[in-house]
Each structure stands twice: as C-alpha cells, then as structure tokens.
Chains A and B, each alone.
Chain A
Amino acid sequence: MILSGWGRYPRLDVTVTSPRAEGDLRAALATGPVIARGNGRAYGDSAINPRLTLDMRGMNRMLAFDPASGQLTAEAGVTLDAVINSFLPRGWFPMVTPGTRYVTLGGMIAADVHGKNHHRDGAFGTCLDWVEVMGQDGIPRRASLTKNDDLFRATLGGMGLTGIITRAAFRLRPVETAWIRQRTIPTPDLDATIEAFETHADATYSVAWIDCLTRGAGLGRSVVTLGEHATRADLPPSMRPAALALPPRRRLRVPMDAPAAALNRHTVRAFNHLYHRRATAQAGEAFVGWEEYFYPLDAILDWNRIYGRRGFVQYQCVLPPATARAGLRTLIDRIAEAGQASFLAVLKRMGPEGLGQIGFPMEGYTLALDFPASPDALALLPALDDIVLAHSGRFYLAKDARLPATTLHRADPRLQGFRATREAAGQARHFASHQSERLGL
C-alpha cells in the first residue's frame, strides 16, 4: 500500500503488517529488516520501511497503573489520546506531550518527544521509567537507567532503530483540573520574543507562534503563550464541579485535498496579521481547556490535507543559546525573503539535552516551520540547512523528510557513534527505515 508520514511526502509503496502479539513480531523479524510504526505522526519517512513496516497500533493495551506514583504501564501502540481520555477524568495528565495527542507511546519514546515544558521538565525520557525492546533475536529486553542503560539511551530518541518497543512504563502528573491558566504576551520583534522566554523561564509551559514573513523592524514578532495547570482554587466556583471534565467539542475534518494555491504567502500573511492583532487585543490571562491549549491542531482532523496533494515538509532545528539570536534572525530573514509561506511557525526555548544517545533537544531555541513540498520551497531548504550548520544547530529526525546525509552528520557528530552502536549490537541489519537508509543512521 502507499504510505507516507504526516506530511504526505514522500509517499512510498510499502508492505505493512499489523502484529497483535509478540509471536507476530518474531515472525515478522525473521523475514528481514523491518521498522516499527506508531500512529504515523512523524512528518517524513521515519516510520516507513518499504520492505516491511509493522503497524504497532494493534498492540495497545494498558497493563497496570499505580495511583501512588502515577506510573502507567502499557503496550507501545497505546495512543496518548487514549491515555488522556482514561486518566484526565481521574486527575492525571501526561508529564510530557507533543503538540498532537494522536501519537503512540512507542512513537513518543522513539522520538524522545518534547513539549511546551521542555525548558523545565525535559523531554519524554524524564517520565519514562523503563522500556521493553525486542531485538532481532525476538526476545524483549527491559531497559532502564539502572538496567541495560545503553539500550535505554539508544532507544530513547533512537527512531525505532534499536528494535521494536513492545511496552513501557511512564509517569503521569497529578492535576486538579483540565484547565490551563494561559497568559498571552504579544511581542513586537525577535529580541522581545527571546526576552519574554528568558523572563518567564519559570513558567511550566511556554511557546511562541512566530511570524516568519515579516522582515525589518518587525522581524521575529510573535505571540508568546505561557501556561500553568489551573488548580481547583484558581477556577471560578461555577467551573469547579466539572473541573476535570470538558464538554465534548465538535471536530472538523478537512474533507479533501485543498487546491495547491489555497495556502500562499498572501493568505498566510493575512492570517499572521489577524492572529497577531487578535492576540494583542486579548493579551493577558485566560482559562483555556486542555485540548485547545495543548492540541489546537487536533481539532481539525486530517489537517495535513490543507497543503493539497503534493504534501508538505516540516523543518525543525534547535540552535544553542550563544548563536540562537543571530541564527534565528538569519533564518527568518531568509524565509521571508523567499516569500515562502510557513503556515505554522513555532518557536520554543529548550532546556538541557536529555538521556537519549541521539535525542534531538538541547539547550537553546527550537524553530519549527512547515512548507509545501513544492519545488520552490524544497529549493530553499538547503540554504536554511547551511544557516543551521553555521550556527551549530541540529535537526529533528521526526520532522525530516529530505535532509542530505552529509548535512545531518556534520550537524550531529553523535550519529556516528549511534551507527557504531547499531553495528556492534547487530541491529543495523535488522532495523531500518527509509529515513535511516537515506541518512546512513
């Protein structure tokens, strides 16, 4: 069947099987190299092996919950959506969540995902107690910081290349309500945006939507939003009885591919303008429901179709503190100059590097953009790669669909060591994705 990542680019003809039990995994492993796939929310070709891709969503059972520690044990195919649906009404929320809840536990571990609290709490590894990984011998091995810690570190952020994650135990955080106390700070330029992040380093959540089409004085203007889990006492009394429940919201679905021209620099510029103006008008504090705060895009199912048939690519890099300001300025200027419309541009302060051997996050600023997979946009990206390299940045594999191997390896010397680990452990011959082949991982 034809399969792609969330960006719908590239699309590949792939054989997919849906294992339901460990025996099915062993049978699949015996046939040759494979890659595990979660819910396909990585944007590019991370979760695709044309020879055989294992759709892990059939192995999705919850196995144990310890209300004393908030530790949930589950099979790797369980979705974050299911976890939230079951546990938020009981007062628990994920410790770390990406910007969509339609991801699996395996996918969150394999990408060592980060959320809006990365600067304070770190990436998914901070709440991961142990993981079970099935190697090429068909035996699931438990790995944690205290047992098989090499396997633990290589698997966390290892993009499925160390084996098949079968189950894991991770901790949820207790919350009193399903609401977020949100503070919105519109900023007029990049310096003010960075200033806002640094001033509010103690906020639990922080993220900025950044305008990447404006050059000159307004370059880097943003809307920074900070968030705290609201306590019951924070809420107005009328909201307290149903503090952990939210009324079901209507979801929209993008019914078909939008025409390629629907998103262009004019429509995106108009959107950016309106968004910034609205945020300025609404600056200040508000209570926002968890769905709207963490997962605004999830309200529109299949939103990836707004880019039309050709699909789109995400571009996410992180720049260290010393070079972030200059690097971001150069990146945004280059993008604005090219007039390439990034509908979603997100900037976020990151905290220190995590436990994963090749995990993406590191101290600094991460910028995530998306571009239509058009010839013009794809032609711009190598120029952006050079800017990232010149500013000692690195790239997020979960978003990548097109990086050249040389660029990636220059940006991240840890990858050579990872490849060596994979060779030594014999994993390299058994676990491979279209991405790992493209990038020599």
Chain B
Amino acid sequence: MTVTVPPTPVLILGARSDIALAAAHRFAQAGHPLHLVARHPERLETDRTDLQLRHDVPVTLHNLDLLDTAAHGPFLDSLPTLPGVTICAVGLMGEQAENEADPTRAAEILRSNFEAPALLLGAIANRYEAAGKGTIVGISSVAGERGRATNYIYGSAKAGFTAFLSGLRNRLAKKGVHVVTVLPGFVATRMTAGMDLPAKLTAQPAELGEAIFRAVDRRRNVIYVRPIWQLVMAIIRNIPEPVFKRLKL
C-alpha cells in the first residue's frame, strides 16, 4: 500500500499523552512535520529529539494550557502556517469520588475534556473552513456513550465532546473539512497506569497511533479502537434504563 497522505504539518494538542506521542510517531514516520502542544513543553524535549532522529522530520514545541481559552487565538496566530491535520488528545479523568465531592475539581474535569478542547477545535475548524480543507481528530472516549456511576463526570464531558465533534463534522462535511471522532476503550497509558485492565480489551498506544493515521488517510468518521468496543458499547447503550440504573459497571 502506498501512503497517500501528503506530508502536511500535524498539530498535536496534549502531546505528552502516550496516545498523542504514538500518533506523532506514526505521522512522522510518513514524513509529516509536527507541532507538539503541551503545558510545560520542555518536558517533551527528549521526545522531540527522538522524533526528529527517528523520522528525520522537523518538530516544534509549543506552550499552551487549553484551559486558558483567551490564549487560543494568539496561539493559532503564532503558528507559521495552518497545519493540515489537528489531533486533540487533551483530557483529564480524575477520581470519580473526588469529582463528585468537589465542584471545583468537577468543573476542571468538565472544562478539560469538553469546553477547552471544543473551543480550540472550534477556532481551528473556522480557519479550516476558510481554507476549504483540513482534518480534525478528536480523541473522546467510550465513557461518553452512557453515563455510569463510577465515571460520569468525566463521561458526561466526553459525551459533550463527542456531540460537538459530530456537529462539527456535519457542519463542515460540504466544506472540504473532515472530522474524525476517536472512541478508545481502555488504552495502556499513563492515565490508566496501575489499573487492572482486561488484556483483550486494552489497546497499546501504538494501535491508537496506527488507527488514527489510517482514519485520517481514509477519512473515517467515527472509530473505536479495538473494534470489539463497538459491540461492547452497542450492548451497553441498549440495556433498558430500569435495568441499567441497578447495574454496577
């Protein structure tokens, strides 16, 4: 198979995430220059060197806290060109018990998974619309498919983010701009380190990297990683509410 994606720069938000880095490697392997965005981007210096050495592509680091929404516009203006692909891996899970008890923390979870990524991607989408091209990849979660007692603050924010991506795709479908929604199940990353996850349902970051690359290449709309999750979530979505509300999930 030949790689058909032209090597346009790729903007990666939340670049310190293992999933984001795996995607960075996959796109760099295909020759794409990278702009990596993170808080304290100096922590990514070694990864930047690694990406450059391995794949012989330029990689730049950018400082942005997505919660600082006033900084979004100036940040986009500071980029030398408008990157053809944007991938957003920003997210924050927290602990459900703490999220329930502390409204400040809950707000932070809601904003980090929904408001902040949505506002920045919305601003990028407007620029893509004007340019008549561009691809946005939003990493949401299966946790947004149905609220569960153990994870619903995070889950509801992801639900909002999924709906936002869906609307964006619908709005821009005829404008040459494509939106990919990524719905991972479990992924073995820093976020889930130490959790006891079932091996068959748990993807490695590299699988996400590959899946995201292919989804962009093939203009897929919504992808589950480890396809089994599509089935699992279909079942979970279809459990009648009177039964669901009694389940421990």
Q: In the complex the two chains form, is B56's CB within 8 Å of A61's CB?
A: no
A119-167 interface with B by 8 A CB criterion: none
B42-60 interface with A by 8 A CB criterion: 46-47, 49-50, 53-56
Expressed in whole angstroms, the Cα–Cα distance for A65 and B190 within the complex equals 28
Per-position contact with A for B45-89: 1 when CB-CB < 8 Å, else 0? 011011001111000000000000000000000000000000000
Q: In the complex the two chains form, is A86's CB within 8 Å of B55's CB?
A: yes
Whether a CB of chain B sits under 8 angstroms from the CB of A64 is yes
Q: What are the residues of chain A within 8 A of B55 when measuring CB–CB?
A: 86
Whether a CB of chain B sits under 8 angstroms from the CB of A62 is yes
Instruction: Tell me the nearest residue of chain A to B52, going by C-beta.
Output: A62
Measured between C-beta atoms, what is the minimum distance from B205 to chain A in Å?
10
Q: In the complex the two chains form, is A62's CB within 8 Å of B53's CB?
A: yes
Q: What are the residues of chain A within 8 A of B47 when measuring CB–CB?
A: 61
Q: In the complex the two chains form, is A64's CB within 8 Å of B53's CB?
A: yes
Q: What are the residues of chain A within 8 A of B56 when measuring CB–CB?
A: 86, 90
Whether a CB of chain B sits under 8 angstroms from the CB of A201 is no
Q: What are the residues of chain A within 8 A of B49 when measuring CB–CB?
A: 61-64
Q: What are the residues of chain B within 8 A of A72 when measuring CB–CB?
A: 53
Measured between C-beta atoms, what is the minimum distance from B2 to chain A in Å?
11
Q: What are the residues of chain B within 8 A of A64 when measuring CB–CB?
A: 49, 53
Q: What is the interface residue range for chain A against chain B?
A: 10 to 19
Q: What are the residues of chain A within 8 A of B50 when measuring CB–CB?
A: 61-63
Majority SS at the chain A contact face: mixed
Expressed in whole angstroms, the Cα–Cα distance for A63 and B53 within the complex equals 8
Instruction: Tell me the nearest residue of chain A to B1, going by C-beta.
Output: A248
Q: In the complex the two chains form, is A86's CB within 8 Å of B46's CB?
A: no
Per-position contact with B for A63-88: 1 when CB-CB < 8 Å, else 0? 11100000010000000001001100
Instruction: Tell me the nearest residue of chain B to A83, going by C-beta.
Output: B54
Expressed in whole angstroms, the Cα–Cα distance for A82 and B50 within the complex equals 11
Expressed in whole angstroms, the Cα–Cα distance for A61 and B43 within the complex equals 14
Expressed in whole angstroms, the Cα–Cα distance for A72 and B54 within the complex equals 11
Majority SS at the chain B contact face: helix
Q: What are the residues of chain A within 8 A of B46 when measuring CB–CB?
A: 61, 63
Q: What are the residues of chain A within 8 A of B53 when measuring CB–CB?
A: 62-65, 72, 86
Expressed in whole angstroms, the Cα–Cα distance for A20 and B54 within the complex equals 19
Name, among B46, B49, B53, B55, the residue most crowded by chain A CB atoms within 10 Å (CB to CB).
B53
Measured between C-beta atoms, what is the minimum distance from B221 to chain A in Å?
28
Name, among A61, A63, A64, A72, the residue most crowded by chain B CB atoms within 10 Å (CB to CB).
A61
Expressed in whole angstroms, the Cα–Cα distance for A82 and B56 within the complex equals 13
Q: What are the residues of chain B within 8 A of A90 when measuring CB–CB?
A: 56
Q: What are the residues of chain B within 8 A of A62 when measuring CB–CB?
A: 49-50, 53-54
Q: What are the residues of chain A within 8 A of B190 when measuring CB–CB?
A: 20
Instruction: Tell me the nearest residue of chain B to A21, going by C-beta.
Output: B46
Expressed in whole angstroms, the Cα–Cα distance for A391 and B50 within the complex equals 48
Expressed in whole angstroms, the Cα–Cα distance for A189 and B76 within the complex equals 72
Instruction: Tell me the nearest residue of chain B to A61, going by C-beta.
Output: B50
Per-position contact with A for B171-192: 1 when CB-CB < 8 Å, else 0? 0000000000000000000100
Name, among B47, B54, B190, the residue most crowded by chain A CB atoms within 10 Å (CB to CB).
B54
Expressed in whole angstroms, the Cα–Cα distance for A64 and B49 within the complex equals 7
Q: What are the residues of chain A within 8 A of B54 when measuring CB–CB?
A: 62, 82, 85-86
Q: What are the residues of chain B within 8 A of A65 when measuring CB–CB?
A: 53
Q: What are the residues of chain B within 8 A of A61 when measuring CB–CB?
A: 46-47, 49-50
Expressed in whole angstroms, the Cα–Cα distance for A90 and B54 within the complex equals 11
Expressed in whole angstroms, the Cα–Cα distance for A61 and B55 within the complex equals 12
Instruction: Tell me the nearest residue of chain A to B48, going by C-beta.
Output: A61
Expressed in whole angstroms, the Cα–Cα distance for A20 and B16 within the complex equals 13
Measured between C-beta atoms, what is the minimum distance from A23 to chain B in Å?
13
Measured between C-beta atoms, what is the minimum distance from B210 to chain A in Å?
14
Q: What are the residues of chain B within 8 A of A20 when measuring CB–CB?
A: 190
Measured between C-beta atoms, what is the minimum distance from B65 to chain A in Å?
22
Measured between C-beta atoms, what is the minimum distance from B208 to chain A in Å?
16
Measured between C-beta atoms, what is the minimum distance from B173 to chain A in Å?
34
Name, among A62, A65, A82, the residue most crowded by chain B CB atoms within 10 Å (CB to CB).
A62
Instruction: Tell me the nearest residue of chain A to B199, going by C-beta.
Output: A1
Measured between C-beta atoms, what is the minimum distance from B46 to chain A in Å?
5
Measured between C-beta atoms, what is the minimum distance from A171 to chain B in Å?
15
Per-position contact with A for B143-174: 1 when CB-CB < 8 Å, else 0? 00000000000000000000000000000000
Instruction: Tell me the nearest residue of chain A to B53, going by C-beta.
Output: A62
Expressed in whole angstroms, the Cα–Cα distance for A65 and B53 within the complex equals 7
- Sample of 18 more A-B contacts, CB < 8 Å, known A82-B54, A86-B53: A20-B190, A61-B46, A61-B47, A61-B49, A61-B50, A62-B49, A62-B53, A62-B54, A63-B49, A63-B50, A63-B53, A64-B49, A65-B53, A72-B53, A85-B54, A86-B54, A86-B55, A86-B56
Q: Hey, which bits of chain A sit against chain B, CB under 8 A?
A: 20, 61-65, 72, 82, 85-86, 90
| 24 cross-chain CB contacts under 8 A | A20-B190, A61-B46, A61-B47, A61-B49, A61-B50, A62-B49, A62-B50, A62-B53, A62-B54, A63-B46, A63-B49, A63-B50, A63-B53, A64-B49, A64-B53, A65-B53, A72-B53, A82-B54, A85-B54, A86-B53, A86-B54, A86-B55, A86-B56, A90-B56
- 9 A-B pairs closest in CB distance: A61-B50, A62-B53, A86-B54, A62-B50, A65-B53, A61-B46, A62-B54, A63-B49, A61-B47
